[in-house]
A and B are shown apart, each in its own frame.
Chain A
Amino acid sequence: MKLLEYQGKELFTEYNIAVPKSYLARNQSELNQIKDKLEYPVVLKSQLTTGGRGKAGAILKCANKEELVPKFTELLNKEVKGELPKVILIEEAVNIDKELYISLFLNRGKRTYSLISSSEGGMDIEAVENKVIQDISISALTQSSAETIAKKLGLSGVTIESFSNIVIKLAKLVREKEAELAEINPLAILKDGTCLALDSKVIIDDNSIFRHPELGKYIQISELQEQAEKNGFSFVELDGDIAIIGNGAGLVMSTLDIVNDAGGKPGAFLDFGGRATTETIYKALEVISKLSKVKAILVNLFGGIVRTDLVAQAILNAYEDGMISVPIYARISGAESEKSKKMLSNSNAKLYDTVEEAISSLVQFMRMSK
Chain B
Amino acid sequence: MNNKFDIFDILVGKPEDPDYGNKPVIIQGITGNFGSVHTRLMREYGTNIVAGVTPNKGGQSFEGIPVFDSVKDASKTFNAKISGIFVPAQFFLSAVKDAVNNGIKLLVAIPEHVPVRDAMESLEYAQTNGAKIIGPNTPGVIVPSVNKIGIMPSQPFKKGNTAVFSRSGTLMYEVSFYLSKAGIGQKIALGIGGDPINGTNLIEAFNLISDRDDIESVVVVGEIGGDAEESLVQYIEKTGFTKPVVAYVAGRSAPKEKRMGHAGAIVYGNYGSAESKISSFSRVNIPVAKRPAEVPSILMKLMK
A interface residues, Cβ below 8 angstroms from B: 2, 50-51, 106, 108-109, 111, 124-126, 178, 180, 205-208, 210-211, 234, 236, 238, 246-254, 256-261, 266, 269, 271, 274, 302-305, 333-334, 354-356
Contacts and interface: CB of A to CB of B under 8 A. Distances in A.
A89 B83 CA distance: 51
Nearest to A333: B177
B257 interface: yes
Contacts of B166: 250
Given A2-B257, A236-B258, A250 B151 contact: no
B228 A108 contact: yes
Contact of A354 (B225, B255, B293): B293
Contact of A205 (B117, B228, B269): B117
A83 to B, nearest CB: 12
A235 to B, nearest CB: 9
B89 A257 contact: no
B281 interface: no
A207 B257 CA distance: 17
B168 interface: yes
B145 to A, nearest CB: 17
A108 B264 contact: yes
B263 A206 contact: yes
A271 B261 contact: yes
B23 to A, nearest CB: 24
Contacts of A51: 257
B269 A253 contact: no
Given A208-B115, A208-B117, A251 B168 contact: yes
Contacts of A125: 269
Given A111-B120, A248-B169, A260-B252, A207 B263 contact: yes
Interface residues of B, number: 59
Interface in B155-171: 155-156, 166-171
A304 B168 contact: no
Nearest to A239: B255
A205 B115 contact: yes
28 contacts: A51-B257, A106-B116, A108-B228, A126-B269, A205-B116, A207-B113, A207-B115, A234-B262, A236-B261, A249-B170, A249-B260, A250-B168, A250-B171, A250-B223, A250-B265, A251-B174, A254-B174, A254-B248, A254-B291, A256-B253, A257-B253, A257-B290, A266-B253, A274-B151, A302-B170, A305-B41, A305-B151, A356-B293
B261 A111 contact: no
B194 A180 contact: no
Contacts of B60: none
A256 B291 CA distance: 11
Contacts, number: 149
Contact of B89 (A207, A247, A334): A207
A118 to B, nearest CB: 15
Contacts of B254: 253, 256
B251 interface: yes
Given A208-B116, A250-B223, A111 B197 contact: yes
B173 interface: yes
Interface in B197-235: 197, 201, 221, 223-228, 231
Contacts of B194: 249-250
A260 B258 CA distance: 17
Contacts of A247: 170
B39 to A, nearest CB: 14
B170 A305 contact: no
B288 to A, nearest CB: 12
B291 A248 contact: no
Q: Is the interface of B mostly helix, strand, loop or mixed?
A: loop
Nearest to A181: B268
Contact of A253 (B120, B153, B261, B293): B261
A210 B156 CA distance: 36
Given A207-B263, A253-B261, A256-B254, 18 more contacts: A50-B257, A108-B225, A108-B227, A111-B197, A125-B269, A180-B116, A205-B116, A205-B117, A207-B115, A207-B116, A238-B255, A248-B169, A250-B194, A254-B248, A254-B292, A256-B251, A269-B260, A334-B155
B81 to A, nearest CB: 24
B74 interface: no
Interface in B96-125: 113-117, 120, 123
A126 B290 CA distance: 28
A252 B263 CA distance: 14
Nearest to A359: B291
B117 to A, nearest CB: 5
B196 to A, nearest CB: 5
A109 B293 contact: no
Contacts of B123: 111
What 5 pairs between A and B have smallest CB-CB spacing? A250-B168, A249-B261, A304-B153, A248-B170, A208-B115
Contacts of A106: 116, 196-197
Contact of B155 (A248, A258, A304): A304
Contacts of B231: 109
A119 to B, nearest CB: 20
Interface string B51-84: 0000000000000000000000000000000000
A125 B153 CA distance: 44
Contacts of B262: 234, 249-250
A250 B169 contact: yes
B14 interface: no
Contacts of B228: 108-109
B243 interface: no
